[in-house]
């Protein structure tokens, strides 16, 4: 439809943008330069577009949803996570929401495993020391880290990415896998994903874990889920990995756990209020800091765009999109 208007809020990989335009689903606005939309831009968009394709870095004002009622039909999200979208407000105002699961599972799990290895083996610290010309040569007690192979990994959230992490940890490093999830995971799924053991609570998982890796969704239900109680339950010297959402971790409690030695190191890809980091992060050499790179590979980022387009096409054709959230 020539009069249908579509907004892509952040720059996508070129092949995905080109496909969206070539599909001729409507008049497409591709925002360049690639910067977050302001509140004023969101409010102006509310009655200007039939389709908005947002992503995780968007800060959508609460008043946007009622303002968009009657005009905006669907938010075809670029990304699996959608805690930046108020799902209840979207539903109440007649706005459908889709997301893009599956396509980023492997790359996000790869990144989480990389963070685990970097934190455990102090690769970031070693790289900085070497680059600064401070390496004094090999010695038996230099830059001692934590052994990964054969250790126990605790996984919080046993969905697609959590299961992929379990396979990497067990199959690649012989790690014992314990996990917590709200759903009762069938035995065949546990067997296929690292012979994983489901425990009854997060603190039970923490008590067993040499490494605690987070793979749960963000949002109100998991806000500061990993708090002082969880950190205090960890084995002394455990390592935290977070490639899920920043608001899952109580950052004050994390700093306290690092100061006490309860947590020996952390590998983080996500943060509260990103990209504005708490400045305390920069003072800890034993934290590996990544800038939300979980899905950042060429194939995956393009596939996310294609998945969002597929969902949009289905919706506009009157079909139920495969990844309909609401």
Rounded to whole angstroms, the Cα distance separating 303 from 114 reads 22
- Per-residue pLDDT, 57: 92
Cα–Cα distance, 113 to 177 (Å, whole number): 14
The pLDDT profile of the chain, 326 residues, written as one tens digit per residue, is: 558 999 999 999 999 999 999 999 999 999 988 899 999 999 999 999 999 999 999 999 999 999 999 999 999 999 999 999 999 999 999 999 999 999 999 999 999 999 999 999 999 999 999 999 999 999 999 999 999 999 999 999 999 999 999 999 999 999 999 999 999 999 999 999 999 999 999 999 999 999 999 999 999 999 999 999 999 999 999 999 999 999 999 999 999 999 999 999 999 999 999 999 999 999 999 999 999 999 999 999 999 999 999 999 999 999 999 999 99
> What is the pTM assigned to this prediction?
0.94
In sequence order, what DSSP letters do the residues of 260-304 get, joined into one string?
HTSEEEEEES--TTTTS--GGGGG-TTEEE--S-TT-SHHHHHHH
pLDDT at residue number 3: 87
Q: Which residues does the annotation mark as catalytic? A: 245, 274, 292
Confidence at residue 225, expressed as pLDDT on a 0 to 100 scale: 99
**How far apart, in whole angstroms, are the C-alpha atoms of residue 130 and residue 143?**
12
Please give the pLDDT value at position 33.
80
Place of tokens 């720059």: 11
- Beta pairing class for 263-268 and 287-289: parallel
Look at strands 238-242 and 263-268 and give their pairing.
Answer: parallel
- Taking the C-alpha atoms of residue 30 and residue 309, their distance in angstroms, rounded to an integer, is 14
Please name each of the domains of the chain with its CATH number. Answer: 5-99+298-325 (3.40.50.720), 105-289 (3.40.50.720)
Output phi, psi for 30, to 5 deg.
Answer: -105, 115
Helical residues (DSSP H) of 69-153, grouped into ranges: 87-92, 105-121, 123-131
Written as six digits, the tokens of 299 are: 């194939």
DSSP-assigned letters across all residues of 30-91? E--S--PPPHHHHHHHTTT-SEEE-BTT----TTHHHHHTTT--EEE-BSS--TTS-HHHHH
Q: How many CB atoms lie within 10 A of CB 114?
A: 19
What count of Cα atoms within 13 Å lies in the side-chain half-sphere of residue 9?
26
Looking at residue 293, its pLDDT comes to 98
């Amino acid at each position: 439809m020539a009069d249908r208007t579509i907004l892509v809020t952040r720059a996508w990989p070129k092949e995905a943008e080109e496909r969206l335009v070539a599909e001729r689903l409507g008049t497409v606005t591709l925002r360049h330069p690639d910067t977050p939309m302001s509140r004023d831009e969101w409010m102006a968009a509310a009655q200007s577009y039939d389709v908005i394709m947002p992503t995780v870095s968007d800060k959508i004002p609460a008043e946007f949803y009622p303002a968009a009622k009657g005009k905006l039909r669907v938010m075809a999200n670029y990304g699996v996570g959608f805690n930046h979208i108020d799902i209840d407000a979207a539903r109440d105002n007649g706005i459908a929401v889709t997301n893009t699961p599956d396509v980023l599972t492997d790359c996000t799990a790869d990144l989480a495993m990389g963070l685990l290895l970097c934190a455990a083996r102090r690769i970031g610290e070693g790289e900085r020391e070497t680059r600064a010309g401070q390496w004094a040569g090999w010695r038996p007690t230099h830059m001692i880290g934590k052994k990964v192979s054969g250790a126990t990994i605790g996984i919080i959230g046993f969905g697609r990415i959590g299961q992929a992490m379990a396979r990497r940890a067990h199959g690649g490093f012989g790690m014992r896998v314990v996990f917590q999830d709200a759903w009762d995971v069938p035995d065949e799924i546990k067997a296929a994903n690292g012979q994983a053991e489901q425990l009854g609570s997060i603190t039970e998982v923490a008590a067993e874990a040499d490494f605690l890796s987070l793979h749960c969704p963000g949002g109100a239900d998991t806000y500061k889920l990993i708090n002082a109680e969880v950190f205090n339950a960890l084995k002394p010297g455990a390592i935290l990995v977070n490639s899920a959402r920043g608001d899952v971790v109580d950052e004050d409690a994390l700093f306290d756990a690092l100061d006490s030695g309860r947590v020996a190191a952390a590998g983080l890809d996500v943060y509260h209020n990103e990209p504005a980091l708490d400045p305390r992060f920069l003072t800890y050499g034993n934290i590996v800091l990544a800038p939300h790179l979980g899905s950042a590979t060429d194939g995956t980022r393009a596939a996310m765009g294609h998945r969002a387009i597929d969902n949009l096409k289905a919706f506009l054709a009157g079909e139920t999109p495969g990844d309909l959230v609401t």
